[in-house]
Structure 1
């Protein structure tokens, strides 16, 4: 695992794009490596979900979603950040998407999917006054992937505040994050990647045949992890890209998949692999040749 750096090196790259309405958008690019993006996105979605919105902007249409509560899931799997709320979810590729245990994603597609540029933005009106704040992400094909909407001092709920009476306190989140990720004035407030805390998960997909009985596997994993006193989260997941060989278990720390797992095998995975570092070869996927 690569070393985690709390200091962000400023890119010192500012781009201004004129608007046909007379104003312009100012972009301040920042480092979009996985550790940096993970720290920023965890801060936004897990710690400040009540202040931000997320969506997509193109000429003629805007999608904007708010978080009804803290996300139920905020996890990194095979390069994709997945955030799940009560009513919607999102995926954002912030690390190379290998394509499951067989690494089936072509190199060109990996580059296209992953965030290749990220920038804080401010939208200015024709008088040169900033009127909205946020963060944009682009993929390797320079397509806009997603926009995060930061608190706007001119807006309260669905209403515009009276002219000349903005709530400037709402800019605190923007200024704090900009100091860390754009200007490098403050360190990242984490000592490790917050999205890479180790976890072990069992697939609950209906495609996970021949057995869909994931609950006994989950219970066995959880009991064994607790008994061993490990700081590893036990969780369920959607499809782990190993269909028709269920139950399937995935360990995030070293990206290991196990198939046809029984409660007894689940206990062995914890006691032998997670505790002793010895993988259970008989259930390892892809299968290991015995020759």
Structure 2
């Protein structure tokens, strides 16, 4: 599996270390199903663009499943659909169907370690992009610098909170910390 690392200096002074992967090489459906079935209470589902951040905290998901290539996570209060596999693109014309199917599906992902943050000195996440290189989703992992009620704890970080991050990177990318 080809994994590419890149360090980016962000405009706000933070640094992000990306560990990119091609979705063809990773079972994205299995990874997301594992995250939402096993770790649902520990992650925050977000969408981040400059000027807006949406954060969703899940109660226990009532359903995690796939239909027409779309992974659905349904908590009862909210749900999300994410194209992780082949979809029919039924409404597309014959000439645009293949392109639309390619655009909709997860094309690449990255595990991201960010440093020099304002709320916490570091953060860990998973981001996925579609075939148009548009961000689809960002999943924030447990942070050693935050208590269970998300209060800062810089003096006594709980490093065991990175176990999920390490386990998923090892299982799906072969990256050992």
Which TM bucket (shorter chain)?
0.7 to 0.9
Are residue 98 (structure 1) and residue 88 (structure 2) matched?
A: yes
Residue 29 of structure 1 contacts residue 182 of structure 1 at CA under 8 Å; is this kept in 2? no
Structure 2 equivalent of residue 58 of structure 1: 49
What is the SS of the residue equivalent to 2:40?
A: coil
Alignment coverage as a number of residue pairs? 172
Q: Which has the higher contact order (CA 8 A, sep 6+)?
A: 2
Are residue 29 (structure 1) and residue 20 (structure 2) matched?
A: yes
What is the SS of the residue equivalent to 1:159?
A: coil
Instruction: Answer 1 or 2: which has greater strand percent.
Output: 2
What is the SS of the residue equivalent to 2:100?
A: helix
Q: List per-residue Cα deviations over 1:177-212 (Å, max 9, x = no partner).
A: 111122256xxxxxxxxxxxxxxxxxxxxxxxxxxx
Unmatched tracts of structure 1, length 5 or more: 1-8, 186-291
Are residue 82 (structure 1) and residue 65 (structure 2) matched?
A: no
- Distance change in 2, residues 1:54/1:121 (3 Å): same
Residue 52 of structure 1 contacts residue 66 of structure 1 at CA under 8 Å; is this kept in 2? yes
The alpha carbon displacement at 1:158 in A equals 2.9
Q: Equivalent residues in 2 for 1:266-281 (5 A)?
A: none
Q: Which protein shows a greater Rg?
A: 1
Task: Give the Cα separation in 1 of the matches to 2:28 and 2:3.
Answer: 17
What is the SS of the residue equivalent to 2:77?
A: coil
Structure 1 equivalent of residue 100 of structure 2: 109
Pairwise CA RMSD: 2.3
> TM-score by structure 2 length?
0.88
Structure 1 residue ranges, 4+ long, deviating more than 6 angstroms after superposition = 101-105
The alpha carbon displacement at 1:103 in A equals 9.1
Structure 1 equivalent of residue 10 of structure 2: 19
Unmatched tracts of structure 2, length 5 or more: none
The alpha carbon displacement at 1:45 in A equals 0.3
> TM-score by structure 1 length?
0.55
What is the SS of the residue equivalent to 1:65?
A: strand
Residue 79 of structure 1 contacts residue 93 of structure 1 at CA under 8 Å; is this kept in 2? yes
Q: 2:162 aligns with which of 151, 154, 171?
A: 171
Q: List per-residue Cα deviations over 1:4-60 (Å, max 9, x = no partner).
A: xxxxx3x23012221122221111012413861122111100111111111101111
Are residue 159 (structure 1) and residue 146 (structure 2) matched?
A: no
